[in-house]
Structure 1
Amino acid sequence: MFGSLRYLARGTRGMINGSQLKKHAFDIAQPSIKLNKVEQKICRLLNDYTALFNAKQENVAEPLTLRISGGWVRDKLLGQDSHDLDIAINIMSGEQFALQLNEFLTEHYDKYELEPHSINKIDINPEKSKHLETATTKLYEVEIDFVNLRSEEYSDHSRIPVVNFGTAEEDAFRRDATLNALFYNITQDKIEDFTKLGLYDLNKGILRTPLPPRQTFLDDPLRVLRLIRFAARYNFEIEPNVYKEMQDPEINDAFLHKISNERIGVEVQKILRGPNPLLGLSLIQSTKIDNVVFRWHEDQEIINFNETHCENFNEIERLYSSGKLNAHLERVISKFDKFFSSSLPFYSNGIDASADFAMNTILSCCLIPMAGYDIIWTSKAKMNNKISLTESILKNWLKVGKNESTRIAKVVNSSKTYDCMVDMFYRSRNDQASLKRSDLGIFLRDFKGDWETVHYVSLFNHFLYSQQSYYEMEKKYKYLRSAIYNQNLENAHQLKPLLNGKEVLQGLNRKAGPWLGKVNEQAIYWQFDNPNGTKAELLEYMKSIAPKYV
């Protein structure tokens, strides 16, 4: 991850002019695709059926032609394996073709080494459009979508188009990028580039839209995020005119009217879990769509209710309107690699090893300006009706899982509390009796294993903004971290009670009641302060304190 981030840290303008982009060399004049053994079997089957079908037709305007479209063609030309096979059909729907192919295989399954049951379930997938029929099945354990070639017409209010049968050229030009508009004609065993730019752009590492970018993005603003995802995934350049249109305020506004937060969340999570999340984040920041990506709720009624009932509403809105969030993201992008990779290689190893860990760390750093703010998540309750702004962004807008949203929000909202613990622990370094092991253990236990993320995200925030000596602050943080490991508290959240409830009740000869939870809570404190204590010793301690709570 970090190899390309070091170059990115020098500024995103370098990315946009394509000065140091990876290029992919292949013969543009005579491009070819090498099929693996499974793909050869699939294409043989499809070719045989196509030939049989066409032989039975008389006086047809156009023979049946099958093409593999989109990402599979792109990835194969880049020398990468792809398991995403979309078969485009010219004269019938995907459902019609898949059903007929199923009948053909029922008669000839022995020839193709495919049992009929392996494709007897065909699902129709509307992909959020009632006008689009797609059939999904499996051939040789590869999932395949069958869909007709199509043209699209968009309205001003929805990204879901009215879909009609189209030509291969119309189908190519409706796509998000020229390098995703390539076809592999199965029958003719050749690449088809109807935009005349797809092969060139793929070879040079350029992302551009087949049609004029402004209308392309107004029709479907999600394409802005898709291009950002491809740029980050392949380290490709976004063509300058396309990049300029991505920054258009009208397209930014179209996001909120046309695109569901679920679709935005899917793209953002793919970007942040990808091979170069900071490059994707840099393009989100530089195109100024951070207000779209990090919006805090999808329900306008809830937003309106907060406007009149949330005491922090104006401050929250200013985070977006003043450009504070955008400026913060720019700082994060420019400093992230220097801080985590150069200063903390052991921590960056964790980021490199886990896409989820990388995403959670980056999101925590990005959302620090949201720390301490709450919004009202429901207008129907007067109690327990608030949620942290960070958690709302993650859970309600980006659709990050509940557990991850809660954990990241905890990291963000605990930064100030963690600062206080760092400072207090450092000041007590010459008087260890003033801070018990249990104080630190209970504090860390609350983070459920994420204390180290809180530790470094909080320190990173100082790295970005601290007006005091960063060296002094870093020294304090190192002191606390060393103390945590020296006292074997790094896994404080895993500490289990020495005695279970039944053992406590029997030992104290009492019936269960509210007192038991309070005594058990004190028992955890005792275990932290007595790491080598025995069950018998703990029981004696619990006997001594039980009268206070019964």
Structure 2
Amino acid sequence: MLKKAASSLIQRNMVPKLKLTETEQQICRLLKDYTSEYNKSRALSEPLELRITGGWVRDKLLGFNSHDLDIAVNTMSGEQLALEINDFLRRNHESCGITPHSIHKIDKNPEKSKHLETATTKLFGIDVDFVNLRSEEYTTESRIPVVAFGTPKQDALRRDATLNALFYNIQNDEIEDFTGTGLEDLNKGILRTPLPPLQTFLDDPLRVLRLIRFASRLGFVIDPDTYKAMQDPEINKAFGIKISRERVGVEMQKILQGPNPLLGLSFIQKAGLDNVIFSWHSDSAIIHYNRENTDMSKAEKAYQELGRHIELVLEKLPVLLEAFPLLQEHWKNAPVFKQNFILGVIFAPFRGIKIVWNPQKLMNKETSISESIVKDGLKLGRNDAELIAKCVESHVEYNDMILRYESLSRSDIGLEIRSFNGDWELAHLVNLALAYCFDENSLGQYQNFYQFVFDQNLQNSHALKPLIDGKTLSKQLNIKPGRWMGGVVAEMVKWQMDNPGSDEKQVLEFVQTILPNYT
């Protein structure tokens, strides 16, 4: 559908005209007026030119609304341009219809892909970034380039994909394609690098993930030569040397929460990048400690199995999505659920494997490797990491419960559901997907169990509270609060699960029968 949308706007050998919103027209009119005044008041060897860069042109051609306005300037810094425009507005605010807004300078931050200072301000209610055109040169040790002022073509060629290198010249009201293939590639739905792909990716391996993200978001194909370069062993090495785990995590989060995460995952798996994308840690001291002091053979074997397991999941999961409306609904409407579900399923080879996450601690210094991948490898939130790890580690026990649930007590099932702290449904679907990958006939048993949970009103077991709170219990038993209370309350909750509809008097009678075990 996206390719058709692009094709309807881009005809062969024709440069399309963009249809601007009213606000975009106001911004461009203001910038034209400022540029015209600036150029007329100065004798310049190179006149000032302003261009909208980045993904705005691409998205406009695809029919998407975009508020990502990056203005590139050819003869001054972004901060200087923003200050000049603010001065212009102070002098012309009545005719322009707006007053100057505060300017926020964003300093260089190479670890977050900010290689030049950028100035941002608000025009007609839209955040607008200003930066100068630039060229970049890289070393073999870092993805952080040496940056200098550049020409429009140099700025276009340094970008990750030709279709992301299209500019909109504000003065001329026209699209500029300095790579020569950006419009055609957008028309055909092809992602390729402006310069030779291997060197482009070695300069900055993060571009690999960005192209994969665009392919999965837009449903585009990756040019064969470009994809071949992604598979080069040197790219695999460069990921570990040049890219921060935070940047990997940002791109992976966008892929996994995007419209087609399985396509993105397929590109990663077939390129043999799963081992570096899902690295379990980035701290060299932690990695060295584990290699020297723990048995990492199971982890190494799991990484060898990871690619094959992902391939199996990619084969089975689309079929499961079609067959299981509940999973479809979550998949479409809950991006974070979708992300955690996918990670919970593909990390199955890491089940039962632990690493030392803090050698300095005496206690609780180990964690599951799946939790470490999410928290330290992908830099996602701690809650997500713990939940995904719980899903991964629970499979054998959970699957056993599914097979035997008709012979289990109500509390056996309720306590298992309770252990997921409100995320039981995610755990159920993760375990269902894993079981389905290896035995398609297991789907019926999982569906039957799911219905049983709701029939028994156990789905909210995590929210079940004891009918008598600890303070009241202590008072009624005339016993001071102490260690006994934790065990008694836990047994109260279990008893209530097995005796739904019971009242406080019945609970207290039960407590009195077990109290000698705790006091």
Q: TM-score range by the shorter chain?
A: over 0.9
Does residue 138 (structure 1) correspond to residue 138 (structure 2)? The answer is no
* Matched residue type, 1:480: F
Instruction: Give the deviation of 1:23 after TM superposition.
Output: 5.8
Letter in 2 for 1:211: L
24, 29, 32: which one aligns with 1:39: 24
Alignment of 1:175-194 (within 5 A): 175-194=159-178
- Look up the match of 1:378: 358
Gaps of 5+ in 1: 5-19, 429-434
8 Å CA contact 1:98–1:122 kept in 2: the answer is no
Question: Displacement of 1:228 after TM fit?
Answer: 0.5
Residue type at the aligned position of 1:111: S
Q: Contact 1:411–1:450 at 8 Å: present in 2 too?
A: no
Matching residue of 2:478: 509
Question: 1:511 & 1:382 partners in 2: Cα distance?
Answer: 33
d(CA) in 2 for partners of 1:337, 1:479: 21
Is this contact kept in 1: 2:269–2:307, CA < 8 A? Answer: yes
**Bigger Cα displacement from structure 2, 381-390 vs 180-189:** 381-390
Matched with 1:52 is 37
Task: For residue 514 of structure 1, report the CA deviation from its aligned partner.
Answer: 1.4
* 1:21/1:236 contact within 8 Å kept: no
Alignment of 1:53-202 (within 5 A): 53-58=38-43, 60-116=44-100, 119-128=101-110, 132-202=116-186
Which residue pairs with 2:307 in the alignment?
326
Q: Which runs of structure 2 are paired with 1:253-268 in the superposition (5 Å)?
A: 253-268=237-252
Aligned-partner Cα distance in 1 for 2:98–2:516: 74
Which stretches of structure 1, 4 residues or more, deviate above 6 A after TM superposition? none
Matched, 1:338 2:319: yes
- Mapped partners of 1:325, 1:32: distance in 2: 47
**SS of equivalent to 1:144:** strand
1:527 maps to 496
Count of residue correspondences: 515
Match status 1:458 vs 2:431: yes
Q: 1:499 to 1:121 in 2, by over 3 A?
A: farther
Match of 1:14 in 2: none
C-alpha deviation, 1:482, in angstroms:
3.1
Question: What secondary structure is seen at the aligned counterpart in 1 of 2:7?
Answer: coil
State yes or no: 1:365 paired with 2:345.
yes
Give CA-to-partner distance per residue, 1:438-457, whole Å, 9 cap, x none: 12111110012332333332
Task: For residue 70 of structure 1, report the CA deviation from its aligned partner.
Answer: 1.5
Q: Quick one: distance in 2 between partners of 1:517 and 1:260? A: 44
Residue by residue over 1:256-294, the C-alpha shift from the partner in whole angstroms, topping out at 9 and shown as x without a partner, is 111111111111111111111101011011111101111
Of 289, 293, 296, the match for 2:280: 296
Worse-superposed segment, 444-453 or 240-249? 444-453
State the distance in 2 between where 1:148 and 1:417 align: 58
CA distance in 2, matches of 1:453, 1:22: 35
Offset at residue 516 of structure 1 (A): 1.7
Alignment partners' CA distance in 2, 1:262 and 1:51: 42
Aligned amino acid, residue 514 of structure 1? R
The 2-side partners of 1:83 and 1:22 are apart by 19
What is the alpha-carbon distance in structure 2 between the residues aligned to residue 239 and residue 285 of structure 1? 17
Please give the per-residue CA displacement for 1:481-508, whole angstroms capped at 9, x wherever unaligned. Answer: 3322221101111112222232222222
Change (3 A) 1:71 1:511: same
Once the two structures are superposed, what CA deviation does each residue of 1:418-467 show, in whole Å capped at 9, x if it has no partner?
A: 022223324x2xxxxxx32112111110012332333332232233234x
Residue correspondence of structure 1 range 208-227 to structure 2 within 5 A: 208-227=192-211
Give the Cα–Cα distance (whole angstroms) in 2 for the partners of residues 464 and 275 of structure 1. Answer: 22
Q: Summarize the Cα distance change of 1:305–1:22 in structure 2 as closer, same or farther, 3 Å threshold.
A: farther
Partner of 2:297: 314
- Residue of structure 2 in register with 1:12 after alignment: none
Contact conserved, 2:337 with 2:426, CA < 8 A, in 1?
A: no
Cα distance in 1 for residues equivalent to 2:235 and 2:5: 29
The TM-score normalised by the length of structure 1 is 0.90
Amino acid at match of 2:308: A
CA pair 535-202 structure 1, distance change in 2 beyond 3 A: same
Aligned-pair CA distance for 1:189: 0.5
Quick one: distance in 2 between partners of 1:246 and 1:98? 38
| Structure 1 Cα separation of the partners of residues 77 and 19 of structure 2 | 28
Deviations 1:510-550 (Å, cap 9, x if unpaired)? 22211122221111112212221122322333334333322
Compared CA separation, residues 133 and 478, structure 1 to 2 (3 A): closer
Q: Output the CA distance in 2 between the equivalents of 1:547 and 1:319.
A: 48
What are the equivalent positions in structure 2 for 1:391-430 lying under 5 Å apart?
Answer: 391-426=371-406, 428=407
What's the CA shift string for 1:281-309, capped at 9, x where partnerless? 11011111101111100112111111122
- Cα 1:399–1:210 shift into 2, 3 Å: same
Distance in 1 separating the partners of 2:317 and 2:255: 16
| Residues 549, 21 of structure 1: alpha-carbon distance in 2 compared, 3 angstrom cutoff | farther
1:547 match: 516
Task: State the percentage of identical aligned residues.
Answer: 50
2: distance between equivalents of 1:406 and 1:352?
23
1:151 and 1:87 mapped to 2: Cα distance?
16
- Give the superposition deviation at 1:83: 1.0
The one-letter code matched in structure 1 to 2:184 is Y
CA-CA distance at 1:405 after TM superposition = 1.1
438-447 or 104-113, which deviates more: 104-113
Quote how far apart the aligned CAs of 1:22 are: 8.0
Q: CA deviation at 1:349?
A: 1.3
Is residue 2:325 matched to residue 1:352?
no
Query: In the superposition, relative to structure 1, how do residues 126 and 362 fare at CA in structure 2: closer, same or farther (>3 Å)?
Result: same
Q: How far apart in 1 are the matches of 2:177 and 2:454?
A: 59
Specify whether residues 244 and 344 from structure 1 end up closer, same or farther in structure 2 by C-alpha distance, changes over 3 A only.
Answer: same
User: How much does 1:130 deviate?
Assistant: 7.9
- Match of 2:301, as an amino acid? R
Once the two structures are superposed, residues 194-220 of structure 1 have per-residue CA deviations (whole angstroms, 9 ceiling, x without a partner) of: 111011111111111100111101101
Q: CA deviation at 1:143?
A: 1.4
Q: Residue 24 of structure 1 aligns to a residue in which SS?
A: helix
Relative to structure 2, which stretch is displaced further, 436-445 or 185-194? 436-445
2:422 to 449, 465, 480: 449
CA contact 1:302–1:377 (8 Å) conserved in 2: yes
2: distance between equivalents of 1:474 and 1:88?
Answer: 54
Change (3 A) 1:438 1:113: same
